[in-house]
């Protein structure tokens, strides 16, 4: 039905003279993606289908393809973030696109044309320790890029639970909570026992040998006895932020 209505709108715009036949043909022939060389097809229609634009996973991409991908977004005036990007990749992209920014800890390259005034709702990002900061920043930058207002509460792990309790009333004001923790990852369970909001838990690879690179934290969060906790993969701040933004958007705009 959506496609039919779109075509009707095109016909109407042509009749009213607000759209030329050439422009209409260009829209109709748009495949929804753009070829970048022989290796990439950028999904520019994803924002219309899913509500949020495509992100670029930078690790393992060759230099030429990565630069060309960012150029394609820049030429269309489209915002984009590149996750798991190295400083060397950022330096390379910045030579062609001076407006890009980089977070060393989050390993994110961002080209963001959005405005703070357009952000909606509120997501709380709660992290247990300072060693969880890279994942916390990945989630924060991603959530802001996807259009959410964000408040971060860092170093409030359960080893000093009074730090968390001091912030609980503020955390409750958020529509969604992202809980980030390594070690035994008890933070998500404790939070779920204190608040009435959905919690997305992110296990991190922070911890000593028995942490097993985050496997222990992952299993701990999956086995939480508290209701309302969903869990993403180890160190996946991006995935947690995306899911949180979907929920936040429904709440902020009013689900119908």
157-203 pLDDT tens trace: 999 999 999 999 999 999 999 999 999 999 999 999 999 999 999 99
| Predicted pLDDT at 45 | 67
User: What is the spatial distance between Cα 10 and Cα 164, in angstroms, rounded to a whole number?
Assistant: 54
User: By mean pLDDT, which of 10-14, 99-103, 181-185 is the weakest?
Assistant: 10-14
| Average pLDDT of span 41-54 | 73
Closest CA to 34 of 89, 5, 74, 85: 74
User: By mean pLDDT, which of 47-51, 60-64, 155-159 is the weakest?
Assistant: 47-51
Structure tokens at 73: 């977004």
- Yes or no: say if 168 and 190 are a contact pair by the CB < 8 Å rule: no
Q: Does domain 117-253 have CATH number 3.40.50.1970?
A: yes
Inter-CA distances, 168 with 26, 128, 132, 135, 163, Å: 52, 14, 19, 21, 9
Hey, is 223 helix, strand or coil?
A: coil
Q: Whole-structure pTM over 0.95, yes or no?
A: no
Element (H, E) at 14: helix 2-16
Helical spans, DSSP H, in 109-236: 133-145, 161-171, 187-192, 215-222
- Yes or no: say if 254 and 214 are a contact pair by the CB < 8 Å rule: no
Domain ranges of the chain: 32-111, 117-253
């Amino acid at each position: 039905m959506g496609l039919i209505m779109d075509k009707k709108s095109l016909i109407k715009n042509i009749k009213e003279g607000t759209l030329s036949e050439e422009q209409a043909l260009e829209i109709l022939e748009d495949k929804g993606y753009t070829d970048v060389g022989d290796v990439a097809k950028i999904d520019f229609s994803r924002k219309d289908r899913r509500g949020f634009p495509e992100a670029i996973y930078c690790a393992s991409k060759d230099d030429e393809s990565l630069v060309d991908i960012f150029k394609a977004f820049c030429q269309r005036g489209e915002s984009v973030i590149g996750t798991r990007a190295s400083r060397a990749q950022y330096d390379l992209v910045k030579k062609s696109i001076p407006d890009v920014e980089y977070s060393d800890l989050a390993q994110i390259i961002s080209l963001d044309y959005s405005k703070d005034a357009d952000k909606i709702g509120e997501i709380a990002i709660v992290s247990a320790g300072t060693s969880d900061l890279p994942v916390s920043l990945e989630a924060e930058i991603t959530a802001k890029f996807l259009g959410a207002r964000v408040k971060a509460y860092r170093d409030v792990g359960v080893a000093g639970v009074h730090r968390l309790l001091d912030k609980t009333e503020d955390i409750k004001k958020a529509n969604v909570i992202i809980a980030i923790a390594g070690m035994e990852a008890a933070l998500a369970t404790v939070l779920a026992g204190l608040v009435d909001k959905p919690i997305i838990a992110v296990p991190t690879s922070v911890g000593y040998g028995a942490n097993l690179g985050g496997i222990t934290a992952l299993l701990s969060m999956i086995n939480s006895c508290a209701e309302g906790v969903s869990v993403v993969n180890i160190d996946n701040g991006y995935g947690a932020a995306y899911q949180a933004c979907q929920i936040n958007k429904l709440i902020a705009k009013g689900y119908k």
